Structure 1
C-alpha cells in the first residue's frame, strides 16, 4: 500500500503546473456541484443528471471527431439535453420517459462518434471515466468562466427556485414562474454536468452532482447547512480523489466515486432519524 500511495512522488508532482491546474479545476467544480446538488436532490432530478451526462458525452465525442475542444462539445451537448428535458417534460409524469428516450439516443449517437474517431483510444476512454490530466489552461478558463455564469444565475434565482422546488403548486399560485425556472435550472445543471465530464467522465457524474448532496441530506434538514455540507463533501471527493490518484496513476474517477460513496455511507450511519429521507 505504501508503494501504491507514494507520498514523496505525490509531493513532487504537486510542483508541476498541470497538476496545479487539475486541483484548481477540481476545486471549482466541487463548489459548483455542491451548490447545485441539494436542489437537484430536492427536485428529484438524479435521473435527469444522468441523462444530461450522456448528451455531454455525445457532444464531447462529436468534438473529438471534428477536432475541437472536448470541453466545448460536452458543454454544447449538455445544454441541448437540458433544453430538451426542460421543454419536453411538461408534466412530472412525463419526465422519466423523456429522459430515457434522450439518454438512449444520446448514448447511441456518442458510441457512433467514438467508432468513427480514429485518434488515441485514451481520449475515448477518458470521455467515459474522466481524464482530468487533459484539462489545459484553455479548458480551465472555460471551466472557471462557465462556473461563474452558473453561480451568478443561481444566486439571482435561488429564492424563487427553492420555493418552487419545495412546493411547486403553492409557488405557482403565488405567481412564481415555475416552468421558466425549471428550464433555467435544467440548463445550469447541464452546464455543471458538462464540466464534470472531463474529471469523472460521463458514466460517473452522479458521484459529484448527487452523492455529496444526498449525504448532506442525511445529517441535516436545514437547506443552508445541507448546501454547505454538500460543497464540503464534493470538495473532499474531487480534491482528495485527485491527490490520491497522482502517484499510482489511476483514473481520478475511481477515487472520487469511492470517497463520495464512503461519505454517503458515513452520513447514512450517523444521520438522525428526522433527516433520514434520502
Structure 2
C-alpha cells in the first residue's frame, strides 16, 4: 500500500474539554430552572444539553483513540473511532428530538403558567455559553466529521436557547404559555433534520461506500491515459476517516514488465490519483493476462 503525504488539520482536544465544562454548567442550571419555573422548553433544552455533554465526552474519547498508533492487533489503529462517535451523536440527536416532541404535544393540551423571568435569564446563559463553544469548535468542524457532529450539537443548543428566550419574552409580556410547547416542537424538528443528514454521512463512511465526490469511471479514464497501464479493474474506493481516502484495485498491465518498471508505473498512477482525486492511500495488484473478471466493480 502506498501513502502520499498530506497536510492534516490538528484538532484541539482543549476546545472540546472547555465545551464539556460549559455544557455541564448550562445543563444543571436549566434543569433546576425548568423544574422551578415549570417550563418544558427549558427542561427540554437541559435534556438536549445533557445529551450534548455525553456526545462531547464521546467525541473527546474518540479523538484521543484516533491518535493512537497502529499495532499488530490494530493495523489501522483507532482511526475510525471518530466516525463511530459521529454516528452515535447523530442517532442521539434524533432520539432526543422525538422525546421532546412527545412531551411538547402532551403539554400543548395541558398548558399551565410558567415562571418566564427565570426562563429568560437561563436562556441568555445558554446563548452565551453555547455560542462560546460553537466558536471554539468552528474551525475543527470544517475538517473533521466527529468535530462537526459535536459542533452541530452545540449550534442547535444555541438556536434552541434563542427560541426559548423568545418564548420567555412572549410568555412574560403576552401570557402565551402555549408558545413553550410550540418552540419545543420546532427545536425537535430541526434536530431531526440535522441528525438525519449527519447520520447519512457517517453511515456511508462506516459502510465503506464510494465517496459522493468520486467518479470511478473518471478514475479509470485517467489511469488508462498513462503509458503502460492496461486495464484497471476490481476497484474499491473508501474513506478510512475524514483525512484518508483509500483505493485498491487490480491492474492488468499492457506488457509483461519487470518489477522495477512497475514501480515507475505505480508512481505515475499514485501522482495522478492524488492530484486529481485526493486519494492518498493506494494499493494496486499488478497482473499480466490473468484470467479473472475485468469489470470495474467485482463482488468479492
- Asked if Structure 1 and Structure 2 have the same fold, meaning a TM-score greater than 0.5 normalized by the shorter chain, the answer is no
The one of the two structures with greater contact order (alpha-carbon pairs below 8 A, sep at least 6) is 1
| Structure richer in strand, relative to its length | 2
Q: TM-score, normalised by structure 2?
A: 0.29
| Structure richer in helix, relative to its length | 1
